[in-house]
Structure 1
Amino acid sequence: MNTDGADQGCPRITSAGGALRDHHGRWLGGFCSKMSNGTTIMAELWGILQGLQLAWRKGIRFLILESDSQLALDLIKNRTDAAHPHSTGLIRRLLGQDWVVQLAHTYREGNRVADWLSKHSLIYPFDTYELDEPPRDLKKILQEDLLEVSFPRQVLQRINSDI
């Protein structure tokens, strides 16, 4: 399961998306969710919650959930989040069910499908939509994932000028 959250505009419209695939990368389901005003971290947490709920409903009992938000993953794992107790509490309760879930960080380049779905959510009315089939415009990115197409990642390094 890959999940992502996004926000856009003023007032801030938030959205989330996720894709559930098997160990071969084949589509098992997905979702698009559009919410009203919120923050990016709220959208990320909502995406994780929606992704976990979808996997549970589909009977998945061994799951790796990847998010490109290290902050959201840290909030879930640290159990001290006063700013988002509702979201993190629901996620922790779901993680406590009878299944094995590994939460993992991935870079944005490895989360392109969920990123696309979270942005695609903005075209829908406010609600959550389960996707039995991937949207047609997403198929190129899914194919690139299956072929393990890589994308260079730019990393800025700070050079110490005191040397």
Structure 2
Amino acid sequence: MDGTFLEDENLMGSGGLLWGHRGNWVKGFMSHTPGGNPFASEARALRDGMRFAWDHGTRNLLCESDYKGLIDIINSGSWRNHSSNIELLQEVQNLLDLRWQVFLSWVPKENNKDADWMARDSYSGPPVVLTTINSPTPEL
């Protein structure tokens, strides 16, 4: 999962991919919305990705993000100290509390390029809540 923020346009984008346990493509998602900031865009991508995985029946999830600060804040429980993003971070915690196994892991940016591409490509259309991608595009 990855989030992007376009400061000049004041837009947040998110994107991510679901891979099967053998590394096969399952589905992808992307969305963008007005407002936010860089941290909120990453938190929103995490929330959207977890919700997307849950809604598609995933019950064991390895969630990878290239934003180490967010992963550290969620894993340590210190997200409650981030008042400017408290509602979004509470939604992430609520998803973590569902009956499933979720592991949050940091990956280097170069290992997250497909999710980054999806988040950036989300700006190509009108704002949407979430678009499902059923098969990989040639860029992936």
User: Structure 2 regions of 5+ residues with no counterpart?
Assistant: none
Higher RCO structure (Cα 8 Å, ≥6 apart): 2
- Give the Cα separation in 1 of the matches to 2:31 and 2:74: 20
Post-superposition, which runs of at least 4 consecutive aligned residues in structure 1 deviate over 4 A? none
User: Structure 1 regions of 5+ residues with no counterpart?
Assistant: 139-163
TM-score, normalization by structure 2: 0.91
1:6–1:79 CA distance, 2 compared to 1 (3 A)? closer
Q: Is the 8 A contact 1:4 1:47 kept in 2?
A: yes
Q: Is the 8 A contact 1:75 1:88 kept in 2?
A: no
Q: Is the 8 A contact 1:33 1:121 kept in 2?
A: yes
Q: Is the 8 A contact 2:11 2:34 kept in 1?
A: yes
Q: How many residues are treated as equivalent by the alignment? A: 136
Structure (1/2) with the larger strand percentage: 2
Report the aligned-residue RMSD: 1.3
* Identity level (%): 28
- Give the Cα separation in 1 of the matches to 2:73 and 2:85: 8
Q: Which residue of 1 aligns with 2:65?
A: 67
Deviations 1:57-110 (A, max 9, x none): 111111100000012212323232222111110010011010000000001011
Aligned-residue offset at 1:9: 4.7
When Rg is computed on C-alpha atoms for both structures, the one with the higher figure is 1
Q: Which residue of 2 aligns with 1:16?
A: 14
Aligned-residue offset at 1:137: 2.4
TM-score, normalization by structure 1: 0.79
